[in-house]
């Protein structure tokens, strides 16, 4: 078909959605953990065989030019403005990484924009919080996260979770970056919990 980018996300069932209601009724039965893992591995193999590199946990592209530059900007920790009701953003305001959430209702959002304050929430992230966010996002990609961020958080001692995760084959360190391995990507949530707790 000529497409060069695929984003195969596994479904997260939220209770207030049609999928959530179907799940509650028993008319939607998602695969169990083993089935979901098998589907993930099959998807990776089929896409790789078709020439798609998994450049992020749930994003595949045929070459560098086909990667989503917007998504890469976000995963690299760049600023982005969340526009529209309920939109999330990350901005550097007065030199501080700041998480923003726009007003959720349309009326409140329009009034907030008119008043020059479109956000219902605005939180300045601590340096540690900003570093953790860069690690959470960076480890999703083939570029990984900066080892310096883990050093700043004190996560690089010989007895640290990082050393254990590298020894177990879930992470590797290359050229000042910590990168999730093929073994670590399917269980990245658990890897991140172990690394950042």
pLDDT in tens, 85-101: 999 999 999 999 999 99
Non-local CB neighbours of 16 within 8 Å, separated by 6+ positions: none
Candidates 1.10.4190.10, 1.10.260.40, 1.10.8.60, 1.10.10.920; correct CATH number of 129-196?
A: 1.10.10.920
Give the residue-averaged pLDDT of 178-192.
Answer: 94
Q: What is the pTM of this model?
A: 0.84
Task: Give 16's DSSP letter.
Answer: T
pLDDT at 1: 63
E strands along the chain, which residues?
5-6, 53-56, 59-61, 88-93, 96-102, 119-124, 145-146, 171-174, 177-180
pLDDT at 28: 93
Give the residue-averaged pLDDT of 44-49.
Answer: 95
Domain boundaries, the chain: 5-67, 76-125, 129-196
pLDDT at 156: 78
Give the residue-averaged pLDDT of 19-24.
Answer: 94
């Amino acid at each position: 078909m000529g497409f060069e980018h695929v984003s195969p996300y596994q479904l997260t069932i939220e209770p207030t959605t049609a999928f959530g209601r179907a799940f509650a009724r028993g008319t939607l039965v998602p695969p169990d953990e083993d089935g979901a893992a098998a589907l993930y591995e099959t998807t990776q193999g089929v896409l790789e065989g078709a020439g798609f590199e998994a450049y992020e946990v749930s994003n595949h592209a045929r070459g560098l030019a086909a990667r989503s530059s917007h998504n890469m900007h976000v995963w690299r920790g760049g600023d982005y403005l969340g526009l529209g009701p309920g939109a999330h953003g990350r901005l550097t305001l007065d030199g501080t990484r700041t998480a923003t959430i726009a007003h959720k209702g349309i009326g409140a959002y329009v009034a907030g924009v008119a008043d020059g304050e479109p956000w219902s929430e605005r939180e300045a992230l601590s340096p540690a919080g900003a570093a953790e966010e860069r690690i959470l996002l960076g480890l999703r990609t083939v570029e990984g996260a900066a080892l310096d961020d883990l050093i700043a958080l004190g996560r690089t001692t010989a007895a640290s979770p990082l050393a254990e995760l590298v020894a177990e084959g879930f992470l590797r360190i290359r050229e000042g970056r910590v990168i999730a391995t093929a073994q670590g990507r399917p269980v990245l949530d658990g890897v991140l919990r172990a690394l950042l707790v």
